Amino acid sequence: MNRPLVAILSGAGISTDSGIPDYRGPNGLWRRDPGAEKLVTYEYYMDDPEIRRRSWQMRRENRTLRAEPNAAHRAVAELERTGVPVRVITQNVDGLHQLAGMPARKVLELHGSARSVVCTRCHARGPMEDALARVEAGEDDPPCTACGGILKSATVMFGERLDPVVLGQAVAIAKACEVFIAVGTSLQVQPAAGLAGLAADHGARLIIVNAEPTPYDERADEIVREPIGTALPRLMRRLSAG
């Protein structure tokens, strides 16, 4: 029996139970500190050493690397282990889907990963932990060890394009899946949000699990407003039962 392909688009709301604040919610980072946006805007970051120094301090204090997967992440990984074909497309940069047990090859990170750094000149990559250790040791703006170029988090900053290969794979999954679940995402940031409409256009059952209304609610076959930590595990069990 062929089991339907399930695509899961996850946003910040899936990780709030892990202690990672969202960005656009009522208590989101951008609402509390509009100046923080400059720290993750490519043009400001590249042009201003002071912005870079502040960005490295923000990364030091960031709870993302210390966070653990929660019940929602584990439920997605558990569904995949039952043999249901699952692909995760995530707007998050926290790596928690993989830590929960989802095979890395089945997770598309649209906005990159906060667990790595990349050189803006030679594109060498390395672990974020190594770069943060250098900051702890006194380097306030650690350069690339390979070429001396500017290092940045391997995340997509404001003003940067998404990786076209990753986006292309996400589009293919949205077109091919039979169930598309948008969980913890406002569905306001394009092109990620458009994947929900694309999936619906190609006949997928669209399920939205989010506390707030989204622009795609009227296209949804099912809307769940309950807390993600309980709603998603229940939904995953239902899908695994067929």
**Per-residue pLDDT tens over the stretch 163-191:** 999 999 999 999 999 999 999 999 998 89
Return the half-sphere exposure (C-beta side, CA atoms, 13 A cut-off) of residue 169: 15
Q: Where are the alpha helices (DSSP H) in 62-156?
A: 71-81, 96-99, 128-136
Q: How far apart are CA 206 and CA 196, in angstroms?
A: 7
Per-residue pLDDT at 128: 96
Q: Catalogue the active-site residues.
A: 111
Res 65: pLDDT: 85
> What does the CA dihedral 206, 31, 69, 80 come to, rounded to 10 degrees?
20
Residue 22's pLDDT is 67
Are the C-beta atoms of residues 86 and 123 closer than 8 Å to each other?
no
pLDDT tens-digit map of 135-168: 999 999 999 999 999 999 999 999 999 999 999 9
Among candidate residues 63, 97, 83, the one with its CA nearest the CA of residue 184: 97
Residue 62, Cβ density class (10 Å: 0-12 exposed, 13-18 middle, ≥19 buried): middle
Measure CA 229 to chain center.
17
**H helix count then E strand count, the chain:** 10, 9
Mean pLDDT of all residues belonging to the chain: 92
CA pair distance 75, 234, nearest whole angstrom: 9
What is the biggest distance separating any 2 CA atoms in the chain, rounded to whole angstroms? 58
**What is the C-alpha to C-alpha distance for residues 40 and 117, in angstroms, rounded to an integer?**
14
Domains of the chain as residue ranges with CATH: 1-20+69-111+160-242 (3.40.50.1220), 23-62+114-155 (3.30.1600.10)
**How confident is the model over 199-238, as pLDDT tens digits?**
999 999 999 999 999 999 999 999 999 999 999 999 999 9
Other residues' Cβ atoms within 10 Å of the Cβ of residue 60: 11
Predicted TM-score of the model (pTM)? 0.91
Q: What is the pLDDT of residue 26?
A: 46
* pLDDT higher than threshold 60 for residue 30: no
pLDDT of residue 60: 87
Count of other CB atoms within 10 angstroms of residue 84: 17
